[in-house]
Structure 1
Amino acid sequence: MRQGFDNEKYIELQAGQIKKRIEQFGGKLYLEFGGKLFDDYHASRVLPGFEPSAKFRMLKSISQDVEVIIAINANDIEKNKARGDLGITYDEDVLRLADIFRSNGLPVAAVVLTQYAAQPAADVFRRRLEMLGITCKLHYPIEGYPHDIDLIVSEEGYGKNEFVETTRPLVVVTAPGPGSGKLATCLSQVYHEHSRGVSVGYAKFETFPVWNLPLNHPVNIAYEAATVDLDDSNIIDSFHLDAYGETTVNYNRDVEAFPVVKSLMEKILGESPYQSPTDMGVNMVGFAIEDDEACREAARMEIVRRYFSAAVNVKRTGTGQEQVDKLKVIMKKAGVTKDYSPARSAALLKEETTGAPVGAMVLPDGTVVTGKTSERLGAASSLLMNALKSVTGVDMELEVIADEAIEPISRLKTAQLGSRNPRLHPDETLIALSISSATSEVAARVLAGLPKLRGCDAFFSVIISSTDEALLKKLGINVCCEPKYERHTFYHR
């Protein structure tokens, strides 16, 4: 796929900028890490060339200087709040994050339970952490937060919070999701460090919006599309403009909260080191864009994907129409329509002519292939096979998977597993293809083409199953569906 981002340059620039910020504060920095530290597929889609693990690789490049604090809101534990992308609760994700950090040589100093008020579920989790040998600290609600500065920055405010002992120059504060209390954890730690005579500072690492791209750059608009459920928006950082006469972009919540954050830092440190939210950030992503038009094109496509994702969610759940309406406005601002991808028109046209559900995919060379539901394969499987044949130069009419590989799987599904659908899903199709590749050089060649589909866009004329969608996404294929079901039934699996 056309690349627009220099990943290695980004890692070098970002690590260097963080080191400079550590030196600025005399050798120690608490870095609030916003967004996804791992698996940032949004960034990889809108900045083609950005590796989903780039931010984590950057931290590993300076691992000897890094330790981690994971913050989780005790109220989120009580509510059993879950991550939408992973389907696991926030408390389980804390353990997942701790494992990832530990296995990569980044020690976890502690897990901080923020807003702790003896919630029963939080107490259960705290005991679980202790049994696992993970240090757990408690941070309490502060009356009048965040506006009663004198109370917050006192022994009755931050002073009541339990202090996390840290020994390395860079302390990364991360969390399972938004609203976990990362900022409060950072400032509480800065308060305690300062009261102990330690020179220390605070900064924020947030990839989007990209501060040195224009407000209406498609990459920044795509971030608005990604966070449409939060009802927030990108705006000009008025504080930066007033202080330096320079136009930069920031998130409205960060701009609105800056006066409070600045006042808290002034109270703790005597003066604020920052004059604007942009000042607080350490984001070098904009300097690693090497092909602006490629990133613009990728971001426009991401905006359209977000629209179809929201429209399908409305069809599945009956909720979220307001998000669809907002995304229509965002698409108009970005200058795109539902037909931005040629895969949509190809899929809908073939469905109209065949009467069967159809998938279409834009391949790396720009050609579009299609696949429809057949007796043996569903639309997703058919499309996957046709795309693989195309990128590996195999005749589209050639039957690559042996009947001997398909028939036992179909029989198992219907005779033993109670399925009424004998057609193979994509995961089952790949298993059958793998079996065939043991005796067929052509099947082996087709199977080896899977990496060539990473980053391609697929569009389906109907809503495909969540199982099919998950498998295609695991292969790195971007999926959109027309917001309609194949069958007119009340219940859909």
Structure 2
Amino acid sequence: MSVNYNRDVEVFPVVKRILGKITGGDSFYQSPTDMGVNRAGFSIVDDGVTREASKQEILRRYFRYRCEYAMGFADRETVQRVELFMKDFVIRPEDRAVVKPAWEAARQGQALDKGNEGIFCGAAIELKDGTIITGNNSALMHASSSLVLHAIKHLADIPAKIKLLPDTITNSVRNLKTDILNERTVSLDLEETLIALSISATTNPAAQLAIEKLTELRNCEVHMTHIPTPGDEAGLRRLGVNLTSEPHFSTKNLFMP
């Protein structure tokens, strides 16, 4: 919401008189700007924290505009402007704590040939205690699905060897997607994974324990090496994480029916 500055100038003498009557003396403000923007600096009590928050906001916008440009929602000029901000303030993409771990997860997945259809996605999340958890995509699930499962297993202290999704459930979903819905891939996005996890929780206490930890992901920082699919983005948004991603598509099939 924006306010016409001329209106501020017109009403300011009235506001100034009201403040004078309240305080019993002269008003401390000499203009609308003095009353508004000039006061903002006095609310900063920790300059270092404020600078870091500003830096992280520039980084989030940098990744966001690059993705929007790749999808045709923003123009090149918008991307160039935020890139100039990055140069002016000497900010690098990897200054966002979850970026390098996500890159490493993608490279590790490629080294182990764990991707899906020739695409290797990595994802990383920074938990509230500063722990970094990673995940990558596979023929079974998307990188965001792997990431969330790894994160809640860590939070619930569930050993890595314990399966949260039994083969009976994953096979059932696989049959539904390929045999009935005629989809080309069986890899589960985050929304599908969360539904499968809730089904597993009816008979698997470990899955129930893991589900209870999902709320602890809210406001955590997440980065992905590829643009999330609609199912991944919706799931991450509902979990309340702060997501950024690289401007690479996670599928070779860009047709939108």
Q: Give the alignment's TM-score, normalised by structure 1.
A: 0.43
Confirm whether residue 312 of structure 1 aligns to residue 54 of structure 2: no
Q: How has the CA–CA distance of structure 1 residues 418 and 285 changed in structure 2, closer, same or farther, with 3 Å as cutoff?
A: farther
Q: How has the CA–CA distance of structure 1 residues 327 and 472 changed in structure 2, closer, same or farther, with 3 Å as cutoff?
A: same
Per the alignment, residue 465 of structure 1 pairs with 229
Structure 1 segment 272-291 matched on structure 2, within 5 A: 272-273=14-15, 275-278=30-33, 281=36
* Equivalent position amino acid for 1:358 in 2: G
Q: Tell me which of 165, 169, 173 is aligned to 1:401.
A: 165
In the aligned structure 2, how far is the partner of 1:379 from the partner of 1:454?
18
Contact 2:192 2:231 in 1 (8 A): no
Task: Map Cα deviations across residues 396-415 of structure 1 (whole Å, 9 max, x no partner).
Answer: 23211122222222322222
Structure with bigger gyration radius: 1
Contact 2:9 2:31 in 1 (8 A): no
Confirm whether residue 363 of structure 1 aligns to residue 127 of structure 2: yes
Specify which structure has the higher proportion of strand.
1
Task: Map Cα deviations across residues 248-296 of structure 1 (whole Å, 9 max, x no partner).
Answer: xxxxxxxxx53x2255438xxxx44354334665999877767654444
Number of residue equivalences: 235
SS of alignment partner, residue 123 of structure 2: strand
Per the alignment, residue 148 of structure 1 pairs with none
Per the alignment, residue 449 of structure 1 pairs with 213
How much does 1:368 deviate? 1.6
Structure 1 segment 92-491 matched on structure 2, within 5 A: 183=3, 258=5, 260-262=6-8, 264-265=10-11, 271-273=13-15, 275-278=30-33, 281=36, 293-317=48-72, 319-355=74-110, 356-488=120-252, 491=255
SS of alignment partner, residue 462 of structure 1: coil
Q: Which runs of 5+ in 1 are unaligned?
A: 1-33, 35-177, 184-256
CA RMSD across the alignment? 2.9
Q: How has the CA–CA distance of structure 1 residues 384 and 285 changed in structure 2, closer, same or farther, with 3 Å as cutoff?
A: farther
Contact 1:263 1:272 in 2 (8 A): no
Specify which structure has the higher proportion of helix.
2
Percent of paired sites with the same residue: 31
In the aligned structure 1, how far is the partner of 2:68 from the partner of 2:183?
25
SS of alignment partner, residue 427 of structure 1: helix
In the aligned structure 2, how far is the partner of 1:263 from the partner of 1:389?
58
Q: How has the CA–CA distance of structure 1 residues 389 and 323 changed in structure 2, closer, same or farther, with 3 Å as cutoff?
A: same
Q: Which runs of 5+ in 2 are unaligned?
A: 17-29, 111-119
In the aligned structure 2, how far is the partner of 1:394 from the partner of 1:283?
52
SS of alignment partner, residue 375 of structure 1: coil
Contact 1:262 1:272 in 2 (8 A): no
Contact 1:360 1:368 in 2 (8 A): yes
- Of structures 1 and 2, the one scoring higher in RCO (CA 8 A, sep 6+) is 2
Q: How has the CA–CA distance of structure 1 residues 461 and 272 changed in structure 2, closer, same or farther, with 3 Å as cutoff?
A: same
Q: How has the CA–CA distance of structure 1 residues 299 and 404 changed in structure 2, closer, same or farther, with 3 Å as cutoff?
A: farther
The range that moved more, 483-492 or 463-472, is 483-492
Q: How has the CA–CA distance of structure 1 residues 335 and 401 changed in structure 2, closer, same or farther, with 3 Å as cutoff?
A: same
In the aligned structure 2, how far is the partner of 1:442 from the partner of 1:302?
37
How much does 1:448 deviate? 0.8
Task: Map Cα deviations across residues 9-35 of structure 1 (whole Å, 9 max, x no partner).
Answer: xxxxxxxxxxxxxxxxxxxxxxxxx4x
In the aligned structure 1, how far is the partner of 2:101 from the partner of 2:187?
23
